[in-house]
Amino acid sequence: MSVTWGKTAGDGKARSGVLRTSHGEVATPAFMPVGTRGTVKTVDAEDLERVGAEMVLANTYHLMLRPTAETVAALGELHGFMSWAGPILTDSGGYQVFSLNPTISEDGVVFRSTYDGARVELTPEHAVAVQEMLGSDVAMILDVLIGLPATREDTIAAMDRTLRWAERAVAAKTRGDRALWGIVQGGSDPELRARSAAGTAALGFPGFGIGGLSVGEEPAARNAAVSAVVAELPESAPRYVMGLGDTEGILDCVARGADLFDCVLPTRLARHGKVLTRTGDFSIKRAEWIDDDTPIEDDCTCVACRRYSRGYVRHLFATKEFLGPRLLSVHNLAYTLDLMSRIREAIAESRYSDFRRETIAARRTG
């Protein structure tokens, strides 16, 4: 069974639905914790299940190099390798590759491995083949990412090459039980975004990533780009804003019709002692928490909040105990996944606009 998506409710442009895969269903809008190397940093599969994760992301670039796609396939593909029964999406590795100053041609990209310096070539066809070997439920095409700001000429060149690579990826797909999604580029220019979205949609992908954002652009530019893309994509397909995971950004993009998100932000912030809460974010490392016996966040049901105090978690960070980053990672993921649940509830009850406004206000004034 390939991946299908069905809309179940709407509130203006905000919408909710169900993503159906061979490894279970995902209620959308949804957030995917990032398991770059086949693991979400500091937490295990049971932690993810307990905080309500339904779908996770893994990274093609890293896994094709260590331990190799062949090794993952031999160990039961990603689901068996990670011991994760739910759906998995793999990105193509384009984001990581383009941070390595690769040599780019019409054929693909050539770069040096960050592990041993070996020369590695990645083409649109190879990206598909590797992801099919990994066995993810959703694979993403190889795209051409450019940093922002960028010239219009460079943006058009990257966008057009991404479209050509998308055609090659479609032709390379062989597994009927897995889905391949396209990626829309176009920088921060709404006109180019609309053009890229229309061209990508014409290729018939069952789902679409909105790439090239969350790279330093202003929220207004990001929102304009997402709006332009959504207007050109089919209503029947999921829209995935790649690499976005902050509360305000998710709320903005859901309001514009986005369905799926991923980001390392919740766990990365946790490893540095940053706590995400409904009433604003704070550092657990601050001296004021040294003898605080209250939970990290009131009313949160995660294990970190049920069992441990702010004073204790601060102590773990002060003494550099590994448990500190793990507990905060669990909490920040629980916060983010609870946010998605509340978003879906608000959409179903046709009160999303009020929910969005109230959530942002609470985080600013809490």
Domains in the chain with CATH codes: 4-262 (3.20.20.105), 264-366 (no CATH)
In the prediction, which pLDDT does 126 show?
Answer: 97
* Annotated catalytic residue within 11, 47, 91, 143: 91
Phi-psi region of 187 (alpha: psi -120 to 50; beta: other; left: phi over 0): left
End-to-end CA, the chain:
46
Cα–Cα distances in angstroms (integers) from residue 144 to residues 109, 213, 214, in the given order:
9, 12, 15
Give the global pTM. 0.97
User: Minimal CA–CA distance to 38: which of 21, 61, 8, 10?
Assistant: 61
Report DSSP letters for 292-314, one per residue: --SBSSTT--SHHHHH-BHHHHH
The size of the chain, in residues, is 366
Establish whether 262 is a catalytic residue: yes
pLDDT at residue 366 in the model: 64
Residues of the chain with pLDDT under 50: none
Of 47, 137, 252, 262, catalytic: 262
Continuous H helices in 20-151: 45-50, 60-65, 69-74, 77-82, 94-97, 124-134
- 107-116 tens-digit pLDDT: 999 999 989 9
